[in-house]
């Protein structure tokens, strides 16, 4: 019975998050952090940071990838499947309802205005996620490298329209080089 309760708790936790998936997965990083690191204590801060990095690096939406990883960590493969189903169920229901009433739905002024308001909130949620993830970095050298890479990413993405794939691959290579050869050498940091 306890296992069923754990599965139900997992499903409902991700279902609740799936209801507010406006703006994509990055907007949800802050919500995931609050729910699974601070509130439920299912993850440590460094585990959460790793899950976000892996979820961003693997194909598919970050919310689904993170749900799969967190669910698997909590309750094995079945837990991963249940968490994934929990996070996608609200979207399936909402998209189905919208598709049935699409012609009427798209012409409602209130809907277009609501989406404009939601998009502003998404920017704040992404900023909040960035702030929370930056708090997990304990090494000042690593924090400086992350700030430099973030600025470089913004410049490359906005001003040069560099494809996200190249940014992810480049960030991985730069991170590997810096961490392996520079940041791991404590004398260089001091």
Alpha-carbon separation of residue 50 from 21, 46, 66, 133, 187 (angstroms) = 21, 6, 10, 10, 26
Alpha-carbon separation of residue 84 from 13, 20, 93 (angstroms) = 11, 15, 15
pTM of the predicted protein model? 0.61
Mean pLDDT of the chain: 81
The pLDDT score that the predictor gives to residue 89 is 94
Q: Which three-class secondary structure state does DSSP give residue 152?
A: helix
Between 27 and 154, name the one with better pLDDT: 154
**pLDDT, average across residues 98-124:** 74
Between CA 47 and CA 140 the distance in angstroms is: 19
The pLDDT score that the predictor gives to residue 43 is 92
The pLDDT score that the predictor gives to residue 190 is 44
Per DSSP, 179 falls in state I
Between 159 and 132, name the one with better pLDDT: 159
Token representation of residue 86: 């929990």
Between CA 143 and CA 139 the distance in angstroms is: 6
- Torsion-angle region of residue 58: left (phi > 0), alpha (psi -120 to 50) or beta? beta
**pLDDT, average across residues 113-142:** 72
Domain ranges of the chain: 2-135, 137-190
**148 — pLDDT class (breaks 50, 70, 90):** confident
The pLDDT score that the predictor gives to residue 39 is 92
| 13-17, 55-59, 145-149, 166-170: which is most confident | 13-17
**pLDDT, average across residues 62-75:** 91
The pLDDT score that the predictor gives to residue 54 is 85
First-residue to last-residue Cα distance in the chain: 54
């Amino acid at each position: 019975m306890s296992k069923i309760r754990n599965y139900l708790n997992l499903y409902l936790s991700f279902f609740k998050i799936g209801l507010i998936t406006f703006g994509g997965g990055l907007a949800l990083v802050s919500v995931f952090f609050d729910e699974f690191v601070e509130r439920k204590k299912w993850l440590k801060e460094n585990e959460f940071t790793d899950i976000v990095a892996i979820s961003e690096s693997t194909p598919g939406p970050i919310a689904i990838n993170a749900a799969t990883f967190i669910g698997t960590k909590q309750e094995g493969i079945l837990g991963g499947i249940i968490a994934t189903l929990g996070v996608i169920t609200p979207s399936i229901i909402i998209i189905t309802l919208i598709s049935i009433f699409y012609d009427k739905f798209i012409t409602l002024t209130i809907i277009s205005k609501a989406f404009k308001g939601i998009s502003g909130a998404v920017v704040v949620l992404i900023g909040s996620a960035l702030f929370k993830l930056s708090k997990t970095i304990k090494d000042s050298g690593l924090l400086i490298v992350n700030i430099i890479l973030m600025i470089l990413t913004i410049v490359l993405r906005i001003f040069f329209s560099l494809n996200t794939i190249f940014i992810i691959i480049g960030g991985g290579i730069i991170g590997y080089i810096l961490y392996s050869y520079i940041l791991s050498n404590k004398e260089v940091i001091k």
